[in-house]
């Protein structure tokens, strides 16, 4: 049981690395605790609320009580299945803004500026614009990851974009191209009616090669001898064994499990490890620190016409949609229903968008509960760059015990101002003429909720995680005491051990994290193979010419 590269985690980055490393002729063994990704709950895009709430596919993590959110413990789903969180996510595809990556480079992640990462985004993509306009020169055309747009048949999708224009914002034909800022169609990782997860795009093709293997096992710790990672200790079929790596061990186990595994292996804050009786191999205080996430609200409106997806919120309709999908991979089941989006700036003086919208033509929660008012629609909205930081720590030295997850949401005073701005800007969009034929009244927060104090109380009670945790093994310079990995993913202070997943993000990106997580796997595989990175791109992104003085 050994290979050149042993990867822990068959998630977004792990699958991409397995594909690229095996393609280059190296032998790869991927360790994954979760089970198969076969079956309609995962493969049918419209069924997305099911796997996210199923213990079979989810690690079932919850945050510690969040003091500023009325001590609520928030759900923190992570995929425990082949494909990882790309098999249970909302399939929304957002690269992030160019300035996100330039910020990474400026803070010590040399070689990860936008010019450096854009070629990898292009390499991984096979983009289908579906006649909605876009920036083909900025997109990839032959990568493993199919990216497309939904049909956008429901009139509410265009009403959302039109309302944005009426409110004075720009339209964008492709927020993953030159111009993120504005209102327009949303990209999704769906292909031929199926969820196009990292498993479908990368891992299943890699496993057809003779040099890539998937091992269903529970990783307990990295085995380190004389300062070098030599393998991974796992529980496999009731036995404990060590899977050995001839070249390197790579952790791609998520921003919650990668820092946990490092700490169980003796890499992390020395005092914390000693508390749990763990020997200190490398004292890295940054392991588990710098935890970030996107928090969001749903602003829900009751609809005055029966045109929303609520008309399908019954067993007969769901059965018909399921049958149509099962036999033809077509119809409402073949889209995640997130088909319009927007990225805007909260105020003048902010150089690039810091608010994201997902628009949905039904009023429903992530757990699949529809609003009691029946027909409605909603915009998911939240600030993109909160200064609040949390942590992942050990509850126990027993690997089977879940980590302690403290997000520390809303701990920065600016967060409250940003959320109030999000709510008020969203109400302004829903009040535009484009929505006049469709709006009956506001369901949530409700028209009576107006003052700062009332809005703050609403946020404290109703804000939910957008499920974008990252940053807990921050990438930076080797002389940065708070950095965990260097810009090639190497764990500072340990040889032959790397981390490659969303935990290495120095700062959270603008939007959903699946695309940049896969990009990390793509780029890291070149570092693992000792290849010269792809040549940097010269494409210059669009920035609002009046950003210093205008909010829109």
Domain positions in the chain are: 1-141+189-256+472-540, 151-185+295-383+411-462
pLDDT in tens, 254-310: 999 999 999 999 999 999 999 999 999 999 999 999 999 999 999 999 999 999 999
pLDDT digits over 360-391, tens only?
999 987 676 777 789 999 999 999 999 999 99
- Record the pTM: 0.98
Rounded CA gap, 63 and 388, in Å?
Answer: 15
Q: What pLDDT is attached to residue 369?
A: 74
**Which of 3.30.410.40, 3.30.470.30, 3.30.565.10, 3.40.50.720 would CATH assign to domain 151-185+295-383+411-462?**
3.30.410.40
Contact partners, residue 336, CB within 8 Å, separation at least 6 = 45, 46, 48, 90, 91, 92, 150, 188, 190
Residue 544 near residue 350 (C-beta atoms within 8 A): no
Residues 515 and 125: their CA atoms lie apart, in Å, by 10
pLDDT at position 504, please?
98
> Average per-residue pLDDT in the chain?
96
pLDDT of residue 366: 66
Q: Give the active site residues.
A: 468
**pLDDT value at position 371?**
75
Q: Counting every residue, how long is the chain?
A: 552
Q: Which two tokens stand for residue 317?
A: 């309709």
Q: Average pLDDT in the 64-86 region?
A: 97
Instruction: Provide the 8-state DSSP code for 352.
Output: S
- H-run or E-run covering 404: strand 404-406
Give the per-residue pLDDT at 370. Answer: 73
User: Which helix (DSSP H) or strand (DSSP E) does residue 145 occupy?
Assistant: strand 145-149
Average pLDDT of span 523-532: 98
What is the CATH T-level fold of the domain 1-141+189-256+472-540, as seen in this structure?
A: FAD/NAD(P)-binding domain (3.50.50)
Does 222 have pLDDT greater than 70?
Answer: yes
DSSP structural state of residue 203: I
423-461 confidence digits (pLDDT tens): 999 999 999 999 999 999 999 999 999 999 999 999 999
pLDDT in tens, 97-134: 999 999 999 999 999 999 999 999 999 999 998 766 78
For residues 319-337, average pLDDT:
94
Lowest-pLDDT range, 168-182, 355-369, 388-402, 529-543?
Answer: 355-369
Residues 491-499 have a mean pLDDT of 98
**Local confidence band at 505 (pLDDT 50, 70, 90 cut-offs):** very high
| Alpha-carbon dihedral 485, 355, 297, 90, rounded to 10 degrees | -60
* Residue 507 token pair: 């700062």
Percent of the chain residues past pLDDT 70, beyond the cut? 99
pLDDT at 53: 85
């Amino acid at each position: 049981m050994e290979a050149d590269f042993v990867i822990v985690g068959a998630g977004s980055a792990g699958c991409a690395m397995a594909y690229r490393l095996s393609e280059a002729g190296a032998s790869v063994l991927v360790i994954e605790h979760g089970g198969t990704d076969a079956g309609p709950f995962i493969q049918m895009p419209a069924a997305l609320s099911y796997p996210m709430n199923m213990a079979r596919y989810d690690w079932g993590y919850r945050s510690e009580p969040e003091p500023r959110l009325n001590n609520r413990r928030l759900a923190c789903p992570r995929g425990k299945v082949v494909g990882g969180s790309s098999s249970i996510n909302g399939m929304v595809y957002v690269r992030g803004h160019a300035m996100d990556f330039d910020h990474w480079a400026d803070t010590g992640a040399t070689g990860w500026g936008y010019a450096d990462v854009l070629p990898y985004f292009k390499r991984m993509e096979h983009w289908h614009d579906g006649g909605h306009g876009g920036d083909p020169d900025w997109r990839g055309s032959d990568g493993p990851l199919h990216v497309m747009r939904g049909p956008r048949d429901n009139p509410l999708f265009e009403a959302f974009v039109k309302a944005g224009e009426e409110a004075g914002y720009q339209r964008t034909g492709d927020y993953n191209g030159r111009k993120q800022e504005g209102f327009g169609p949303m990209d999704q990782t769906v292909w031929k009616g199926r969820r196009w997860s990292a498993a479908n795009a990368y891992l299943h093709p890699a496993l057809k090669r003779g040099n890539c293997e998937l091992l269903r096992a529970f990783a307990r710790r990295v085995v380190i001898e004389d300062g070098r990672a030599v393998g991974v200790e796992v529980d496999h079929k009731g036995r404990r064994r060590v899977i050995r790596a001839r070249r390197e061990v790579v952790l791609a186990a998520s921003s919650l499990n990668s820092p946990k595994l490092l700490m169980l292996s003796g890499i992390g804050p020395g005092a914390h490890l000693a508390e749990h009786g763990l020997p200190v191999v490398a004292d890295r205080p940054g392991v588990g620190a710098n935890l970030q996430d996107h928090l969001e609200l749903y602003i829900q409106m009751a609809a005055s016409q029966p045109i929303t997806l609520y008309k399908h919120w019954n067993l007969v309709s769901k059965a018909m949609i399921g049958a149509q999908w099962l036999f033809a991979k077509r119809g409402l089941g073949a889209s995640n229903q997130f088909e319009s989006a927007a990225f805007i700036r909260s105020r003048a003086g902010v150089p690039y968008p810091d608010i994201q919208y997902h628009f949905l033509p039904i009023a429903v929660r992530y757990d699949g509960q529809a609003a009691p008012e029946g027909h409605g629609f909603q915009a998911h909205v939240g600030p993109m760059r909160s200064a609040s930081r949390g942590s992942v720590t050990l509850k126990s030295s027993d690997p089977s015990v879940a980590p302690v997850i403290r997000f520390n949401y809303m701990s920065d005073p600016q967060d409250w101002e940003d959320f109030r701005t999000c709510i008020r800007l969203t109400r302004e969009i829903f009040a535009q003429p484009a929505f006049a034929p469709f709006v009956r009244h506001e369901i949530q927060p409700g028209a009576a909720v107006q003052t700062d104090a009332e809005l703050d109380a609403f946020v404290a009670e109703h804000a939910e995680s957008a499920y974008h945790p990252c940053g807990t093994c921050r990438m930076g310079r080797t002389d940065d005491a708070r950095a965990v990995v260097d810009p090639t993913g190497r764990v500072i202070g340990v040889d032959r051990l790397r981390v490659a997943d969303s935990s290495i993000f120095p700062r959270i990106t603008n939007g959903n994290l699946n695309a940049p997580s896969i990009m990390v796997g793509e780029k890291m595989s070149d570092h693992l193979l000792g290849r010269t990175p792809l040549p940097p791109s010269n494409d210059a992104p669009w920035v609002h010419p009046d950003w210093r003085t205008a909010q829109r």
